[in-house]
Structure 1
Amino acid sequence: MKQVLTQEERLDFLIVYLLQEQIKYKFNSIPETVEEKRQLFRSLMNIRPPVPIGSEYLKVQNEYLKERLIEKGITEKASLKSIQPGLYLWKGDITTLAVDAIVNAANRQMLGCFVPCHPCIDNAIHTYAGVQLRLECDRIMSEQQSEEPIGRAKITKAYNLPCRYVLHTVGPVIYRDVSEKDCILLSSCYHACLDLAVAYNLKSVAFCCISTGEFHFPNKLAAEIAIQTVKEYQEKNPDTIEVIFNVFKDIDYEIYNSLLQ
């Protein structure tokens, strides 16, 4: 009978595999604590280029990530309470949310964040989905042969996430003052994601706060645009889709909550 690996044994296997993939990391030692091992594993996943990977790795990785999800806890949409008809506000980890689709605030390369353990949503989603997500994004971008335009959306599988799909959209980057064009492009991100969700017959979508992190869009203005765009879309397309505004920070929760009351 085949031995079932413990979570830590799976983690050790995955780290050794990723270290041995690249010569410059081959002789790195494995940390002693589980937390340090998790951080190293995430870092190695983050920097890994979208190249083919063995089936044994994928099997162990999928088992490990599924168990990690159970450890973190899954939030079912049925447990959420609507704040307005068809609208929800939830503060938590979007990678644990079981809905039809979650939205990823992507960059124009659409391959995920390559900065080890970076706190952005793009990094988290790619980490807990598994390496397959970067591989699928790479296939999409190879066919496109150009950077992803701002204000559009792409759909991929969710792999080891509890949602069914991931919608990827690139928001505007704010360098100085917010322009009218920036506002239109941000609204287009929400509209494009909703259009894509409806095209795939999805009934629930969780939006992160697009462009408000590393892209520096002011939080309150971004929330106003998000809520207005979603409400107008639902009015024009009644009973098609429910929307969850997902926030991670207290300040964003307070902003959305005040605007939705």
Structure 2
Amino acid sequence: MTQEERLDYLIHYLCEDSVQYRGLRVEKAERRATLRSLMNIRMPGHVSAEFLEIQDAFLQKEAWEKGIVDVEHIPTIREAYGITGQNSTRISLWQGDITRLSVDAIVNAANSRMLGCFVPCHGCIDNAIHSAAGIELREECSRLMERKGHEEATGEAEITGAYNLPCKYVLHTVGPIVYENLTKHHCRQLASCYKSCLSLAEEKGLKSVAFCCISTGEFHFPNHKAAEIAVKTVGEWLGHSGMERVVFNVFKDEDLRIYEEILRRDSV
């Protein structure tokens, strides 16, 4: 089966599965966005083994085409910037798409429902991670939250499989939402996100974790302060941890500049 044939099959299956979109006509140029949208809006529920097999083959081929980046090929901040702090051989700064990273775990900035983003093709990292992982990730999150019996608290974290992502696990954490003025409580909650993720990773015996810029997007946490908290919290944690590598993953040029400044200044 070619990628084009897989794409046609997946769109047709999800359209028929949805009822609302049965018989949907899709322009050829819009098919990939349509598939992602159908995956985004789909509630947890049973799909056929054939669908999962074809979806997984499609997404794994896409991951290969995007280019998988192994953590061992990402320079440390000592190698990249000449920073000589005590943790400089265990911290990296990398700009790019977090769904390309082959690490033990990547961190997802989730919401309290922990089911991923339901907005079609939304630009948040939650949407990107679920879209690249496949619908199995939402299924596992749904089972996890059913067992939990309530929404995830801010500052806490959960761990799931990664499915079609090149990492082994996904750490889902709920960051604070800043509606108006930033408070000390917001800052403590954000620090707790990093601690919760690192604690879960260590419980699982993981050796490498890639953090996104938690809460700085849709949740409006100021970027510079968020980076300061991230660097300080991770630096302190590494002082009593066997974690081998922590990657600060940024996507925007602004965040790259901020992290470079803070890592050089604080010499972690």
Equivalent position to 2:41, from 42, 47, 60: 47
Gaps of 5+ in 2: 78-87
User: Does 2:219 match 1:215?
Assistant: yes
Q: Which of 19, 25, 33 is matched with 1:29 structurally?
A: 25
1:33-81 CA deviation, whole Å, 9 max, x = no partner? 2xx1110000000000001111010000000001001111100111100
- What secondary structure does 1:24 align onto? coil
- Equivalent positions of 1:1-261 (< 5 A) are 5-33=1-29, 36-83=30-77, 84-237=88-241, 239-261=242-264
Distance of 2:31 and 2:152 partners within structure 1 = 34
- Hey, what's the Cα distance between the residues in 2 that align with 1:254 and 1:49? 38
Distance 1:122 1:23 in 2: 26
CA distance in 1, matches of 2:243, 2:129: 25
2:20 alignment partner, SS class? helix
Provide the rounded CA distance (Å) in 2 between the counterparts of 1:22 and 1:45: 10
Report how many residues are paired: 254
In 2, Cα distance between equivalents of 1:45 and 1:60: 14
Deviations 1:196-234 (A, max 9, x none): 001100000000000000000000000000000000000
* Alignment RMSD: 0.7
Q: Report deviation, 1:31.
A: 1.6
SS in 1 for 2:171: strand
Q: Which runs of 4+ in 1 moved over 6 A?
A: none
| Conserved? CA contact 1:198–1:241, under 8 Å | no
TM-score (norm 1): 0.96
Give the Cα separation in 2 of the matches to 1:141 and 1:255: 35
Distance 1:170 1:23 in 2: 32
User: TM-score, structure 2 length as denominator?
Assistant: 0.94
The code of the aligned residue for 1:132 comes to: E
Give identity over the alignment, percent. Answer: 54
Offset of 1:236 from its aligned partner? 2.2
Shift, 1:112, TM fit: 0.1
Instruction: Give, in angstroms, the shift of residue 27 of structure 1.
Output: 1.8
One-letter code aligned to 1:245: F
Alpha-carbon offset, residue 173 of structure 1: 0.1
Q: Which amino acid aligns with 2:39?
A: M
